[in-house]
Amino acid sequence: MRSSSKRRAVCSLLAIALFSAMAVAQQPGQGQGATKPPLYNTAKQKLLDGKQIFSFTQGKVDVAGYCESAKHYDYTWFEMQHSTMEFADIEKMIAACPHVPAIPMIRLPDAQEWHIQHATDIGVLGIIVPTVDDADRAREAAKWARYPPIGRRSSGQGQARDLWGINGIDYRNTINDNMLVVVMIETPTGVANAYDIASVAGVDVVIVGNNDLTQFSGYPATDPRYQEMITKIHDETLRAGKIFGQANWTFATGHPLSGTSKFFQNGPSNDGWKPPAAAGAGRGASPSAPPGKYPK
C-alpha cells in the first residue's frame, strides 16, 4: 500500500508539472504560437514573404532627388564602391527623409570593420559587399553587421538609434533581426565557392554581379558557360537556405531563374513612378518599365 501511494503521488506531481508546462506554452507571446511583429526593414520583410524587391541607385549627393525617388522603391542602393560619396553624404540624405518606403542600404567597397560600422551607425538597414570569393570574406561581412552575441558590431554614437528606435522600438535588441546582409559573387572563384559562401551564418542574400562575372570569366552573358555559372550560384544559394538575387533587373522576368530571383539592383518602382529623364546614376537611373509587369 505504501509503495502504491508513492506511485500515485509521483504520477500526480508529474501530471501537475505537465499541465503547468502546457499552460505556459499556450500563453500569448510565448512558445511556437507566438507571432513576431513585422520587421521595420520592410525590404527584408518582403523577401521573407517571398516577394521580389527592387531599388534605385543613388550615386551622388542629391538630398531632394533622393527623398523623391525613395518614395517609390523597396530600397535604396547607395553606391560607395564606384562613387566618390562619403559616409557623411549618405548620412545627410538618410536624415533628411528617414522613413521613406525605400529602406537605406549601402554597397560598400569591401568588408572592412570600419566601413561596416560606419554604415550601420549612420542608419542603414542593409549592407551589400562586392566580390566575395570565399566564406572568409562573407563571414567578415556578417560579423561586423550585427551586435553580440551574434556578431561583433560595437556600440556607436551615430544616428541609427534615433532613426529606428522610435514608437517604443528597442533598436539594440531588434536591429540584428532587421539587418540585411547581401554578398555578391562576381568571379569564377566565387562561383566555385558558392555553397560555402551562402552557408555562412548571418548572410541573408547572395546575388550575382552580372556585369563583372562576364568580365572576370571572359564569357558573355549569352554563353552557355556563363549561364551555367549563374545556375550554379542560384542552386547553391537555395540549397543553403538563402535568398538569391541579381544585380541586373532584366533577369526579373523572361529568364528561367526569374521565379526564384528575389533581390534586384534597380528595376521598376512600386507605383509606376519614373525618374526624371536627366536623373543619371544618382536618381534612380533604372530603365522605366510598365508598372505591374514584375511580381512584387
C-alpha–C-alpha distance, residues 90 and 278, integer Å: 21
pLDDT digits (tens, 9 = 90+) for 258-273: 999 999 999 999 999 9
Q: Considering the chain, what percentage of its residues have pLDDT values greater than 70?
A: 81
Q: What is the DSSP string of 142-195?
A: HHHHS-TTTS-PPP--SSHHHHHS-TT--HHHHHHHH-EEEEEE-SHHHHHTHH
Say if residue 27's pLDDT is above 70.
no
- For the chain, the average pLDDT equals 86
Tell me the pLDDT band of 8, cut-offs 50, 70 and 90.
low
C-alpha–C-alpha distance, residues 296 and 286, integer Å: 16
C-alpha–C-alpha distance, residues 217 and 28, integer Å: 54
pTM: 0.83
Say if residue 23's pLDDT is above 60.
no
Say if residue 212's pLDDT is above 90.
yes
Say if residue 251's pLDDT is above 60.
yes
What does the CA dihedral 44, 45, 46, 52 come to, rounded to 10 degrees? Answer: 20
Tell me the pLDDT band of 34, cut-offs 50, 70 and 90.
low
C-alpha–C-alpha distance, residues 278 and 43, integer Å: 27
What local confidence, expressed as pLDDT, does residue 97 receive? 97
Q: What is the mean pLDDT of residues 48-70?
A: 97
What local confidence, expressed as pLDDT, does residue 10 receive? 43
pLDDT digits (tens, 9 = 90+) for 74-86: 999 999 999 999 9
Q: What is the mean pLDDT of residues 242-247?
A: 95
